[in-house]
Amino acid sequence: MGANVNKRDHSVTAKPHVTRSKIRQTVEKSDNPDRRGGERVMQTQPCVYQLAKVVGYKVVNFSDGHALTLNASKEGFLLLMPRSPERKQVFEVHTALSTEERTVTLVEACWTRELQFGGAGKVYLVGVKSLFEPARFN
């Protein structure tokens, strides 16, 4: 039985020929028109928020609570909250940069999505945009 051996010269490496795809690239459109297309950075961090609701001409009800930031971009971030702010509602979000420094960001709620959280109740994903650069405090 004779063996047919193919010997190749491995001293020369040929560059493979690559053909461009003929499939047109498409940009995925979001179902939510308020969602921005910017790059997001995963950032899970506890924060505190403060909502203000105007009742009548002279009464303002404040409510605050704890939330989580889930990701952030240059324009805003995604919050997981126990209550849903109204669309376009402006409120404060306080985050800690360190044990001594924190930021306060004035944000506007762009969209909310209700999630059922087991038997514990509902939570809300809230997409917000930053209205100003965050202010830093000690």
Of 108, 110, 109, 101, nearest to 132 by C-alpha is 108
What is the full per-residue pLDDT of the chain (138 aa) written as tens digits? 555 555 554 445 444 454 454 555 443 344 555 455 567 778 788 999 998 887 777 777 888 899 999 988 888 999 999 999 999 999 999 988 777 788 888 999 999 999 987 777 899 999 999 998 766 766
pLDDT at 109: 95
Residue 131 and residue 88: Cα distance in Å, rounded?
11
Q: The whole model's pTM is what? A: 0.65
**What pLDDT is recorded for position 3?**
53
Positive/negative CA dihedral, 137, 69, 34, 61: negative
- Domains contained in the chain, CATH given: 41-137 (2.30.110.10)
